[in-house]
Structure 1
Amino acid sequence: MRIVINGFGRIGRTVLRQILTQPDRLGVTVAAINDIAPLETCAYLFKYDSVFGPYPGPVDAGEASLTVGDLEIPFTQEPDLSTRDLEGVDVVMECTGKADTDEIARRGLEAGARNILISGPSRAAERTLVLGANEEDLGEHRIISNGSCTTNALAPLLRGLDDAIGIESGHMTTIHCYTGSQPMVDAPRGPLERSRAGGVSMVPTTTSATKLVGKVVPQIDGRITGAAVRVPTISVSAVDLTVTWKRAVSDAVNDLLQQIFAGSPVIGFTGDRVVSTDMRTRPESLVIALPETLSASDRQARIFGWYDNEWGFSRRMIDMARLMSER
């Protein structure tokens, strides 16, 4: 599979790190990277990462290439990707965060690439797909949104639970690390609470996953509410879900969870009493923490799970790109 990474920010760099540090590079060839930032800066940020640590090998900036180990990747700085020649590229990973209009989202197709995969919610996407929830809806669509990290954590969980047991209603709170959308010192940012320094306070706010989950798993649309609390940690987030079942559940909830998601490539489990840093670089979309499960009655349960909002989401980008390229 040949890909181009357009936008070398948190997700673009994490995608590349995963590819280059996995056996056989996950069968992926990175044909090029495109970012308007200086190449030297991009190389530095790839080499030294505040979340994942230094890259385990040499990283150098050439005249027009990023060299990682023995691999030399062409690096361009085109504001408009449609000016590139992308014939033979299976998937453009659109990681700029700007592909919210059809004109921008289609630029990779106009350059000759077969598919566009957007690393976030986008109004320009023909479909929003989440592995483990609705990938069967891919069809022949060429511009796909991979949703959000929280949607990837929540949607497969809800789909599996509703199919197996039936969900009457539920509420999800994502306890989410701070992101680049928050200021590090108090500064205007739209919603008043989002204007506060992200590194010193817990910030109650909204989450795009609430709306996206209804699109991705339409059978539960309107039955799940959601909210977020941004917390002053740099990586790894959590889903705290309370559900009311459509029928009484007499079996132990943890036993049911492990039966429902046995063999799932996107839902994992831990029986240990872990904290968020222990879950860094876990590749699953969600890791259910079995010791945290609670049952208020045979009709209600609390399910808690961790997700590395950068590493896990980036792995799903690679998985979804492969699904698109193999059609």
Structure 2
Amino acid sequence: MKIAINGFGRIGRAILRQILTTERGAGIDVVAINDIAALDICSYLFQYDSTFGPFPHEVTGHDGHLHVMGKRIQMHHQADLTQLDLSGVDVVLECTGVARSSDVAQRGLTAGARKVLISGPSPAAELTCVLGANDALLGDARIVSNASCTTNGTAPLIALLDRLAPIERAHMTTIHCYTNSQPMVDAPRGDFARSRAGALSMVPTTTSASHLVEEVVPHLKGRISGAAVRVPTASVSAIDLVAQLHESQDSATLPTRLKEAIAKSPVLGWTDHPLVSSDLRSRPESLVLAGPELRMIDNRQLRLFGWYDNEWGFSARMIDIARRMAN
């Protein structure tokens, strides 16, 4: 399977790290990386990462290539992907964060690749696909959105819970680490609260998962709401879900049934340990449910809490969905 990575930022670099160092990357050949930044800074930021630590092997950038672990990966620096020849590439991993219009999303196809997977929400995608929720619909779609990190954590959980104990309504709050969309110091943004320094305050805001979950699990449309609180940590976020169940459930057995179902999920995990966010760094699951945080009231209201590494877990899903698209 041959892939190209367009955009070598947080997600693009996490994807390459996993392809090179984990079993998830078996059989994947990264034939090209494209980023507008210079080769030396791309090499440096891949070698040294403030969140995941130094890459465990030497990384150099010269003669137009990234050299790592005996591999020689062609680096391009084009603002327009159509300037490249991507013939033979199975999937372009579109990680620039700007592929919201059809003309940008289709550039990988125009360059010769078979398919494009976008690392975020995009109205230009033929399908928004979340592994563990609606991936059965993937088919032969050529331009696919991998949704958001929060949607990847929420949608599989809601889909699984609704099968075990049908949901009447639910509200999700993501407690999300700060991201590049927030300033380091107070600076103007369209959202007043998100114009404040991201590493100094908890910031209440919105989340794209609010409508994406309904898109991915459409039979629950109008019954799921969501909000976000950005918090001053650099990695690992959490989902706090409160669901009103359609029928009364046995509070003694539902947690066990839920745990057993999660054990069969390809993307969900479970822990019975009293973990904190830093314990979940570099976990590949879309969401890890915290057993000690589960609560039930009157056998119909259920509170679930789970952790997700919003960069590493999401990047793992990008690789998983790309493999399915290539096949």
| TM-score, with structure 1 as normaliser | 0.98
Could you report, residue by residue, the CA deviation over 1:207-254 in whole angstroms, capped at 9, with x for unpaired residues?
Answer: 000000000000111101110000000000000000011111014332
* In structure 2, distance between residues paired with 1:97 and 1:75: 19
Aligned residues of 1:161 and 1:260 also touching (Cα < 8 A): no
Aligned residues of 1:205 and 1:228 also touching (Cα < 8 A): yes
* In structure 2, distance between residues paired with 1:262 and 1:284: 12
Structure 1 counterpart of 2:226, one-letter code: G
* In structure 2, distance between residues paired with 1:273 and 1:281: 18
1:149-164 alignment runs, 5 A limit? 149-164=149-164
State the 1:257 CA deviation.
Answer: 1.1
Aligned residues of 1:253 and 1:295 also touching (Cα < 8 A): no
* In structure 2, distance between residues paired with 1:10 and 1:300: 37
Aligned residues of 1:65 and 1:75 also touching (Cα < 8 A): yes
Aligned residues of 1:253 and 1:301 also touching (Cα < 8 A): no
| 2:255 equivalent in structure 1 | 254
Aligned residues of 2:3 and 2:31 also touching (Cα < 8 A): yes
Aligned residues of 2:18 and 2:24 also touching (Cα < 8 A): no
Residue ranges of structure 1 left out of the alignment (5+ in a row) = none
Could you report, residue by residue, the CA deviation over 1:118-139 in whole angstroms, capped at 9, with x for unpaired residues?
Answer: 0000111111000000011112
Taking only aligned residues, the RMSD between alpha carbons, in angstroms, comes to: 0.9
1:303-322 alignment runs, 5 A limit? 303-322=304-323
Aligned residues of 2:262 and 2:270 also touching (Cα < 8 A): no
Aligned residues of 1:236 and 1:309 also touching (Cα < 8 A): yes
| 2:232 equivalent in structure 1 | 232
1:92-171 alignment runs, 5 A limit? 92-171=92-171
* In structure 1, distance between residues paired with 2:282 and 2:26: 16
Structure 2 counterpart of 1:276, one-letter code: S
Structure 2 counterpart of 1:272, one-letter code: H
Runs ≥4 residues deviating over 4 A: none
Residue ranges of structure 2 left out of the alignment (5+ in a row) = none
Structure 1 counterpart of 2:280, one-letter code: M
* In structure 1, distance between residues paired with 2:24 and 2:222: 43
* 3-state SS of paired residue (1:191): coil
| TM-score, with structure 2 as normaliser | 0.98
| 1:200 equivalent in structure 2 | 200
| 2:301 equivalent in structure 1 | 300
* In structure 1, distance between residues paired with 2:42 and 2:86: 22
Q: From the superposition, tell whether residues 64 and 262 of structure 1 become closer, same or farther in structure 2 (CA, over 3 Å).
A: same
Q: Give the number of equivalent residue pairs.
A: 326
Aligned residues of 1:149 and 1:310 also touching (Cα < 8 A): yes
State the 1:24 CA deviation.
Answer: 7.9
| 1:89 equivalent in structure 2 | 89
State the 1:266 CA deviation.
Answer: 0.2
Q: From the superposition, tell whether residues 80 and 183 of structure 1 become closer, same or farther in structure 2 (CA, over 3 Å).
A: same
Q: Percent identity?
A: 59
| 2:286 equivalent in structure 1 | 285
Structure 2 counterpart of 1:280, one-letter code: R
| 2:18 equivalent in structure 1 | 18
* 3-state SS of paired residue (1:261): helix
1:184 aligns with 2:184: yes
Structure 1 counterpart of 2:155, one-letter code: A
Structure 1 counterpart of 2:278, one-letter code: T
| 2:31 equivalent in structure 1 | 31
* 3-state SS of paired residue (2:263): coil
Aligned residues of 2:295 and 2:303 also touching (Cα < 8 A): yes
| 1:74 equivalent in structure 2 | 74
